[in-house]
Structure 1
Amino acid sequence: KSQIDQIWNTFWTGGITNTITIVEQLTYLIFIKNLDEIETRNELKAKRGFKYPPIFSKDQQDFRWKNLLQMDVLPRHAIFSNTVDGVFPFIRSLGKEKSLFSTYMKGATFGIS
């Protein structure tokens, strides 16, 4: 409970006070973390000879959760706030055109800075 309270207070301090918005923003972060976990599992399978289409290109390795956690605050902030080449445009581009995912993500915004 104390971790949840701490996260909640961080959002409130940052100016995000709407409960639905907080849950939405947390969902985006969990999604980014999940993508990295899937990629890690796929990399382990690849070592055993399985082929897979990578989620992250060589240029997008900084978007992986494990790498975001290792970054200093300023570079991490730049990756999240970059509206052209940052992590959020990357996750918006993952769905196929006119899929349910792309329809939902079309109007989505990342509000954490």
Structure 2
Amino acid sequence: MLHLRPLNDGDNFPELQGGMYYIALDGAELLGYCKYHKDHDCVIIEELKDGGSVDLFDGLLRAVFSYVMEANVNRAKLSEGINKEILKTLMVPVDGQNCVNSLKDFLYNCKKCKMS
């Protein structure tokens, strides 16, 4: 069963060092992760590994967005390495500087979520 959660101190994934991570697990198997950090009122998405799954990419990105919103962060900047084609497919509203300017609007009014 797929489980998404923040990386904990007790986790043993040597490849995940030096940062904050949200991870996707199937049992004890690491399926993917999103590396990020917070900078004042913005979350910076540094890296996202999805194992080739658009759904996992979507789940990890939304999980991080939701998680940081609990800390009153409402803006995201995505690094240049984040797959722009998947962002288009998922209808993530990035501006010319690769930012999502309202996580709340994206998560609560997402066009993809309302597609039939």
Question: When the two structures are superposed, what TM-score results if normalisation uses the length of structure 1?
Answer: 0.28
Structure index of larger Rg:
1
Higher relative CO (CA 8 A, sep ≥ 6), structure 1 or 2? Answer: 1
More helix by share: 1
Q: Which has the higher strand share?
A: 2
